[in-house]
């Protein structure tokens, strides 16, 4: 098989895995993948997952791949908080939550980190539309904030909470407090309850 035939078949998937290749061509020579990665024709995202370098120039694909290369997962934590304008920092890593084990990957599209939670905490995310009519799983602002407070136990004092530098206009005008409280109950975590109360005190919510 030549590369152009392969690309014509796989390109529109954006991200593909080796099992999709074998489903199409059961006798596919896996050495082709190794050779094409070395030549820069395709990009290795993680073991068994690949993309085409042309997607580097398209918006949102680094985020889209976060959902695709480790499932189930959704984008949350610092990446989501930065996306909504709730924290001032630009975020280097693309941060997600998963019900699988905690893990991280690095590839030409970025650095990806996944934080593990129990399966019953995999809620509170939407399908966000993006470029090319695709969608990505993205935490709501309220869930992204709760995921952060739940997973990072050092947010247990006023100084650490202040150093989050959450945007107070967003907190007072756009954050849905009722949804935040509804979601927080589902965690059934006394430690999280205390951090939420601290959040409210620190930012006068």
The pLDDT, as a whole number, for residue 12 is 96
Q: Which two tokens stand for residue 100?
A: 């699988």
Residues 50 and 94 occupy one common structural domain = no
Residues 165 and 141 occupy one common structural domain = yes
User: Is residue 136 scored above 80 in pLDDT?
Assistant: yes
Residue 76 belongs to what domain range?
61-202
Residues 11 and 75 occupy one common structural domain = no
Q: What contacts 201, CB < 8 A, 6 or more positions away?
A: 158
Quick: pLDDT tens for 145-178.
Answer: 999 999 999 999 999 999 999 999 999 999 999 9
Q: Could you tell me how many residues make up the chain? A: 205
Contact 63, 130 (CB under 8 A): yes
> Phi/psi of residue 48, each to 5°?
85, -5
Residues 73 and 9 occupy one common structural domain = no
Q: Which two tokens stand for residue 1?
A: 């098989």
| Rounded mean pLDDT, 52-67 | 95
Residues 41 and 73 occupy one common structural domain = no
Q: Which two tokens stand for residue 149?
A: 């407070």
Residues 126 and 29 occupy one common structural domain = no
Count of domains in the chain? 2
Residues 109 and 125 occupy one common structural domain = yes
Please state, in angstroms and rounded to a whole number, the distance separating the CA atoms of residues 83 and 76.
10
Q: What contacts 151, CB < 8 A, 6 or more positions away?
A: 77, 97, 115, 117
Residues 126 and 47 occupy one common structural domain = no
């Amino acid at each position: 098989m030549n590369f152009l035939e392969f690309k014509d078949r796989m390109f529109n998937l954006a991200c593909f895995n080796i099992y999709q290749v074998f489903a199409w061509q059961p006798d596919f020579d896996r050495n082709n993948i190794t050779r094409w990665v070395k030549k820069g024709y395709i990009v290795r995202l993680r073991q068994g997952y690949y993309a085409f370098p042309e997607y580097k120039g398209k918006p949102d694909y680094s985020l889209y791949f976060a959902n695709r290369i480790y499932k189930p997962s959704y984008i949350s934590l610092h990446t989501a908080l930065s996306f909504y304008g709730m924290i001032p920092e630009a975020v280097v890593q693309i941060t997600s939550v998963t019900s699988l084990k905690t893990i991280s990957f690095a590839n030409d599209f970025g650095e990806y980190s996944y934080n593990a939670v129990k399966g019953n905490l995999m809620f509170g995310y939407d399908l966000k539309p993006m470029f090319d009519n695709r969608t990505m799983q993205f935490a709501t602002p309220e869930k992204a904030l709760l995921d952060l407070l739940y997973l990072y136990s050092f947010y247990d004092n006023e100084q650490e909470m202040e150093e989050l530098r959450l945007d107070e206009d967003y907190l007072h005008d756009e954050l849905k407090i009722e949804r935040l409280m509804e979601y927080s109950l589902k965690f059934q975590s006394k430690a999280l309850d205390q951090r939420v109360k601290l959040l409210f005190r620190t930012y006068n919510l």
